[in-house]
Every structure is written in structure tokens, then in C-alpha cells.
């Protein structure tokens, strides 16, 4: 594992994103929609840097990755979402990889009557996009590597790391049982 971003780097990035949001929304009420589970650490840090009225709602998206590092079928669960009619919505996700998750959720939020929908991601991977839309706000552009920490996982592990680290190809090729041993459940 190689450290890509330290806790200090991440805090600087979150500060910068929060400044952009405060500037653009200028005290208007904002409904944040966070995407479980990967964005949970980030969204918790981000909302504490915002002023003005903020609501927070969470939805769940998963692409059944497991130990695969490319996405499978996208499963969206929006049952915790209230009526968004007329609200300014900011979708917050951890990472924009192929972009398929963000594209699907933005479309769904628009269908639900939000007055405006913008999107924000902490990370965008270089050279991976498969969709035409881009996030409105990006914290960091990162190389095309699989990353963990600060909420992001590999097969459920390492979300708790305070930094972000990339896994290299040999680590990803290691038999699952050995590589994930340190975070095995009893």
C-alpha cells in the first residue's frame, strides 16, 4: 500500500470544496445527498465546514465490486430519501470512476423534482470515465489505481484509515484470504 494523500492533504481538499460550496450557494438552503457507504467519512467532514441551512440525506449505491476493481450491476436504494420537490440538491460521492453511479443518481434526483442538482466527488480517477457528465466539484484528480481509506474500501476493508492509499497490482493479485487477513471478521 502506498500513501497517496495524508490526513492533512485530505483536510485541505475538504476545506477548498467547502469554500466553493459556500461561495456558490451563498447561504441558500442546501439538501445534501450522500452516497453510502464510501462517502460517509467525507460527508461528515464536509458538512461541518458549511454555513447556512444544510440538510443531509443518505442513499445507498453499490456496484457489487467485492474484490473486483471494476464495476458490475449498479444497485440503488433511495428509500431513505424524502420528497425533494423544489430543493437545491448537492449529490456527494467519494469517487468518480466510470461515472455510471453518479450519472444514474443525478438522473433519479432530477426525476424526483429537485429544483437543481449538482454533484461533488472527493476523487476523480484519470482516464476512466464512460459517461458524458462530469461532476460539478472535484476534490482531487488521482491516478488510475484502486484506492482505500477515508471511507473507501476494498471488499469491505480499510474504510477506517485516516489517509488514502493505493493498492498495487501485486496486492490486488494476492489470494484474497491472505491479503484481507488483517481485517477478517471472527
Contact residues: Mg ion, CB under 5 A:
38
Size of the site for ligand IMP (CB under 6 A): 18
Q: Pull the grid cell for residue 138.
A: 472535484
Q: Which residues contact 163 (CB under 8 A, 6 or more apart)?
A: 3, 4, 5, 6, 7, 10, 149, 150
Stretch that binds ligand IMP, among 15-23, 46-54, 91-99, 174-182 (CB under 6 A): 91-99
Nearest distance in Å: CB 7, ligand IMP: 18
Q: Does 45 bind ligand IMP (CB under 6 A)?
A: no
What binding mask, one character per residue, do residues 92-111 give for ligand IMP by CB under 6 A, x or -?
-xxxxxxxxx----------
CA–CA distance from 7 to each of 13, 95, 149, 164, 176 (Å)? 10, 17, 10, 8, 27
The verdict on whether 97 is a catalytic residue reads: yes
Q: Does 151 bind ligand IMP (CB under 6 A)?
A: no
Distance (Å, rounded) from C-alpha 128 to C-alpha 23? 30
- Of the two residues 13 and 38, which places its CB atom closer to Mg ion in the complex? 38
Stretch that binds ligand IMP, among 7-15, 80-88, 144-152, 178-186 (CB under 6 A): 144-152
Nearest distance in Å: CB 33, ligand IMP: 13
Catalytic: which of 93, 94, 97, 153?
Answer: 97
Cross-strand pairs, 164: 5
- Strands 146-148 and 137-142 turn out to be unpaired
- Strands 88-96 and 75-77 turn out to be unpaired
Cross-strand pairs, 61: 76
Distance (Å, rounded) from C-alpha 159 to C-alpha 174? 20
Q: Which does 7 bind (CB under 5 to 8 A by kind): ligand IMP, Mg ion, none?
A: none
Q: Does 41 bind ligand IMP (CB under 6 A)?
A: no
**Of residues 8-27, which lie at the interface with ligand IMP (CB under 6 A)?**
none
Cross-strand pairs, 137: 120
Binding residues (CB under 6 A) for ligand IMP: these are 35, 38, 63, 71, 93-101, 146-148, 152-153
Catalytic residue IDs? 97
Amino acid at each position: 500500500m502506498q500513501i497517496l494523500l495524508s490526513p492533512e492533504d485530505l483536510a485541505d481538499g475538504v476545506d477548498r470544496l467547502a469554500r466553493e460550496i459556500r461561495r456558490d450557494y451563498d447561504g441558500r438552503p442546501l439538501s445534501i445527498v450522500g452516497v453510502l457507504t464510501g462517502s460517509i467519512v467525507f460527508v461528515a467532514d464536509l458538512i461541518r465546514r458549511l454555513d447556512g441551512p444544510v440538510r443531509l440525506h443518505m442513499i445507498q449505491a453499490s456496484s457489487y465490486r467485492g474484490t473486483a476493481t471494476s464495476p458490475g450491476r449498479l444497485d440503488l436504494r433511495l428509500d431513505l430519501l424524502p420528497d425533494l420537490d423544489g430543493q437545491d440538491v448537492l449529490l456527494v460521492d467519494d469517487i468518480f470512476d466510470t461515472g455510471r453511479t453518479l450519472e444514474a443518481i443525478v438522473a433519479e434526483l432530477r426525476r424526483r423534482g429537485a429544483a437543481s442538482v449538482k454533484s461533488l466527488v472527493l476523487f476523480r480517477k484519470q482516464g476512466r470515465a464512460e459517461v458524458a457528465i462530469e461532476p460539478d466539484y472535484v476534490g482531487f484528480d488521482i491516478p488510475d489505481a484502486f484506492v482505500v481509506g477515508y471511507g473507501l474500501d476494498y471488499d469491505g476493508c480499510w474504510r477506517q484509515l485516516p489517509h488514502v492509499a493505493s493498492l498495487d497490482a501485486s496486492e490486488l493479485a494476492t489470494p484474497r484470504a491472505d491479503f484481507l487477513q488483517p481485517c477478517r471478521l471472527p
